[in-house]
Amino acid sequence: MILSWQKSCGAGSLLEGDMGRTSSTENPSPTPPEAPHSSPAVKTCCCARGINWGKSNSYRTNPSVKTAMYQIHIVPIIVLFLLTFAQGQGQGSDQLSWEIEEEVPPGTLVGTLPTRQGLTYRFAQHQDNLQQYFTLDSDSGQVRTRGRLDREALPSDTFDLFVQSMPARHLIELRITVLDINDNAPTFGRSTLDISFSETDQPGTQVILDTATDPDIGDNDATTEYNIISGNQLGDFRLVLLEASKNLLYLENTRTLDREQKHHYQLNISAQDGGSPPKFGYLLININVTDFNDHNPVFEQSDYYAELNETAPPGTSVVKVRATDQDIGSNGDITYNIVSDELNQFGIEAKTGIVKTLKKLYCYRLINLS
């Protein structure tokens, strides 16, 4: 708080000026006329309506003043500051801009204010919410971090603070910008991703992937470097990044895949930011190659031979044939059929491949009559 004073003089006798001033700038010449009261009474009748920092003072005297009564006014300092600075009458203000890296230890010196002798300083009271981040030594003017400054968790990376002196003669506008460091790695939305390619997919078939994100800014956030770091020994896949279309990331096959040769891939994808040193994030991609029916069943033997007595009853097993198919699922299911049997004496179990007699055999000899 600061005090101003006002002295009530007789009608037409108000005196204005700074406390303690005795010379007049507006009416320097009037010489108090002789009055019934003595001139020393005039000199002590120094009235003022308030305190104006740095303002030239005017002062009128009236020798007719006979009595004086003082009033004390208590004015809140912040109001006085607003009034004085709004009128351009304050004794001074400074504007400062500082920078401090995030994640520095608590108590790190941000800067030292240009304090003035005889004044103490404090943050303006209406900025309590910002004072959780910084401390101010009222005498030295040193501003330090109060706790950890995590730029990614701050509501803003720029703080605009007002520091005022006590008494209110000096106002400092202080901007503190929290600089980013590369303390975050790129991260994908998920750690693993399951996708599939078909055997029929032509080379260059693309599957879109999630790009990585990084809460840092600038180069520390520029995640434009993606690589397959394992699982692609045959070079069957490559990554395509379309930066022009909002960083769309695709995985594409470089050749037609053969499920029967390799039905599963596990690729490890890395995302690298532009920090120095860079940080990395990883995504594990499981690729399942879906089947196409591109293989025929193949018998294990090209010929099967059996001898059977003609007395064998119907239903007698003759031989078991077996075929395999490299495809899977229904593409690999095998059913057996006899496609040629002139006398229809034999049958085959569709699932097992067991050939059996269907009836009493008729055995005949081919006689060469020629």
* Binding stretches for Ca ion (CB under 5 A): 102, 150, 152, 180, 182-184, 214, 216, 220, 273, 291, 294, 327
* Cα gap 12→213, rounded to integer Å: 76
Distance (Å, rounded) from C-alpha 308 to C-alpha 310? 6
Question: Nearer to Ca ion by C-beta: 104 or 119?
Answer: 104
Give the nearest distance from C-beta 205 to Ca ion in angstroms.
Answer: 17
CA–CA gap between residue 7 and residue 49 (Å, rounded): 8
Q: How far is the CB of 300 from Ca ion (least distance, A)?
A: 19
Q: Residue 220 Cβ, how far from Ca ion at the closest point, in Å?
A: 4
81 close to 54: Cβ distance less than 8 angstroms: no
Return the number of the residue (173 or 183) whose C-beta is nearest Ca ion: 183
H or E stretch including 320? strand 317-320
Cβ atoms of 177 and 157 closer than 8 Å:
yes
- Rounded to whole angstroms, the Cα distance separating 345 from 359 reads 6
* Nearest-approach distance from CB 156 to Ca ion, in angstroms: 14
166: left (phi over 0), alpha (psi -120 to 50) or beta: beta
Give least dist CB 183 to Ca ion, A. 4
* For Ca ion, the closer CB: 328 or 354: 328
Question: Which residue number, 52 or 184, has a Cβ lying nearer to Ca ion?
Answer: 184
Beta-sheet strand order (sheet of 158-166): 93-101, 171-179, 158-166, 120-123
Spatial distance between the Cα atoms of 63 and 364, rounded to a whole number of angstroms: 162
The least distance separating Ca ion from the CB of residue 198, rounded to whole angstroms, comes to 10
DSSP 326: S
Output the CA torsion 102→107→111→116 (10° steps): 150
Q: Write down the least CB distance from residue 337 to Ca ion, Å.
A: 22
C-alpha span between 159 and 178 (Å, rounded): 8
- Cα–Cα distance between 33 and 61 in angstroms, integer? 10
Nearest residue (beta carbon) to Ca ion:
216
Q: How far is the CB of 254 from Ca ion (least distance, A)?
A: 19
Residues pairing with 323 in the sheet: 299
DSSP 345: -
